[in-house]
Amino acid sequence: MCDTFVVTGEATADGAVLFGKNSDREPDEPQVIERHAAASHPPDAQVHCTYLRIAQVPKTHGVILSRPVWMWGAEMGANDQGLVVGNEAVFTRAPQQAVGLLGMDLLRLILERASSASQGVEQLTGLLEEHGQGGACGYRNHSFRYDNSFLLADPEDAWLVETAGRAWVAKRIRGVRAISNGLTLGERYDRASVNLAAHARDLGLLRGKGPVDFARCFGQPGLTWAAAARRRRACVERYLGDKGKVMVADAMGALRQHGDDGQAGAGLRQTVCAHASWLPTRRFGQTTSSMVSQLSARRPIHFLTGTSGACTSVFKPLWHDTGLVGYGPPPAMRYDAKSQWWRHERLHHLAIRELPQFLERFVPEREQLEAELIAAAQGVVNPGARQAVTEDAFARAGAIEDRWVERLEQRPAQGGASLGALLWKLLGARAQLP
């Protein structure tokens, strides 16, 4: 489960487009931040996606990705043309394709091939119609399969694309718009797949000759409700709408919401900032990485956590021309003290024992650091200075997290032998956390 949003320039404080996403996946599924430079490819080249090989294009753009370590595709990312993309799992009544492109594969292919949000829609829908989508999407849960929706944004434009099998609709976005794990586009959209109505009728999802209500025809209401898709989407849109002119820190705050009770999703339903629970509706949904992008025409800035739990993480600024200096080695499949993702996961496991109390003490320190990093990122121009900001961000975030690990290790575990405590103990043992 995930949450993604875009805020176009008329609703932001500085006129830049803001984009954000929480990538919610299985709780001990590492996610890597990586950068790939622009490249040229020979005429007969192919690209090996997670399950399919497809024809490569002559040139690919440089990309920054946040990617589950076991798959080729990415949960979210940005390219050197100013385009950002995030996807959401959606549950539809379209027939499932056994093997195809994953939504994450499509996302990475869009970033590598498109120069704008509008061009990204063309690339996405063309790939979808040619290859379809399908295949196991889960890290350990191999039966977990889904279709996808996408938010695409650049400094001038934003688009929402919703899919069901190879069918799709697309709508240009203005203002504040969030998506979660459900179809939202009814009869009003700007582009659609060819013969959409005939396709819906062939599947027995549409009667008569009226316009196609995409969400009503193709959506799975039960699964969408179980994912709390409408509730989480409303939570994000209400939070950002109440801010007036939205700022970068507001975008980060939107991804850290735990619902009205503020108890880190202690109830049955999934929350925007997600933490795993023994409950069946939340067992496989945890925020494993987060991203906020500030898309100005001058120079986009991308803030990524590269760690799980948006509320326990620090957003670090990145640029395409400065690389990932300070990030360190990518995470392995088990605990690795050299990996930032796993070092932070140790903090996350300790913090979850009494998360509200931890956040009460941790948040002021994190907010001060992020305010300094945001200000520093806005003020730098040359690549050398930006590189220093990124390196400093990773170093300072790591130092704060290491200090908090030391503090929490000295405190006795709370909560006894509750089901939640037992789940986290099991997860820690499986990941070989110290």
Give domain status of residue 169, yes or no.
yes
Are residues 31 and 69 in contact, defined by beta-carbon separation less than 8 angstroms?
A: yes
Taking only the tens place, the pLDDT of each residue in 233-269 is 999 999 999 998 999 999 999 999 997 544 554 455 6
Give domain status of residue 17, yes or no.
yes
Task: Pick the catalytic residue from 2, 137, 273, 311.
Answer: 2
Range of the domain at 222: 3-409
Q: Which has the closest alpha carbon to 286: 305, 303, 260, 301?
A: 305
What is residue 262's predicted lDDT score, i.e. its pLDDT? 46
Could you list the beta-strand ranges (E) of 98-218: 147-153, 158-164, 167-172, 176-179, 191-192
Taking only the tens place, the pLDDT of each residue in 146-179 is 999 999 999 999 999 999 999 999 999 999 999 9
Helix (H) or strand (E) segment spanning residue 55? strand 53-55
Has this prediction a pTM greater than 0.75?
yes
Is 2 noted as a catalytic residue in this protein? yes
What is residue 224's predicted lDDT score, i.e. its pLDDT? 87
Distance (Å, whole) CA 294 – CA 190 = 25
Q: Which has the closest alpha carbon to 288: 322, 265, 255?
A: 255
Q: What is the mean pLDDT of the chain?
A: 92
Give domain status of residue 226, yes or no.
yes
DSSP 12: B
Q: How far apart are the first and last CA of the chain?
A: 28
Q: Which has the closest alpha carbon to 247: 179, 294, 290, 289?
A: 294
* Pairing, β 31-36 against β 301-304: unpaired
- Checking if the pLDDT of 416 tops 60, the result is no
Give domain status of residue 34, yes or no.
yes
Minimum mean pLDDT range among 43-52, 223-232, 305-314, 329-338: 223-232
- Checking if the pLDDT of 13 tops 70, the result is yes
Give domain status of residue 425, yes or no.
no
DSSP per position, 19-30:
EEEEEEE-TT--
What is residue 72's predicted lDDT score, i.e. its pLDDT? 97
- Checking if the pLDDT of 1 tops 80, the result is no
What is residue 247's predicted lDDT score, i.e. its pLDDT? 97
**CATH label of the domain that carries residue 342:** 3.60.60.10
- Checking if the pLDDT of 83 tops 50, the result is yes
What is residue 265's predicted lDDT score, i.e. its pLDDT? 45
Q: Which has the closest alpha carbon to 134: 193, 205, 73?
A: 73
Could you give the number of structural domains in the chain? 1
Minimum mean pLDDT range among 169-178, 307-316, 332-341, 423-432: 423-432
Q: What percent of the chain has pLDDT over 70?
A: 95
Q: What percent of the chain has pLDDT over 90?
A: 80
What is residue 417's predicted lDDT score, i.e. its pLDDT? 61
Give domain status of residue 422, yes or no.
no
Distance (Å, whole) CA 263 – CA 282 = 14
Handedness of CA 65, 95, 127, 207 (dihedral sign): negative
Could you list the beta-strand ranges (E) of 165-226: 167-172, 176-179, 191-192
Q: How much is the average pLDDT of 407-425?
A: 75
Tokens of 35: 């950068």
CA angle 428, 430, 433 (to 5 degrees): 40
Give domain status of residue 420, yes or no.
no
Are residues 243 and 250 in contact, defined by beta-carbon separation less than 8 angstroms?
A: yes
Amino acid in the structure at residue 254: A
DSSP 180: -
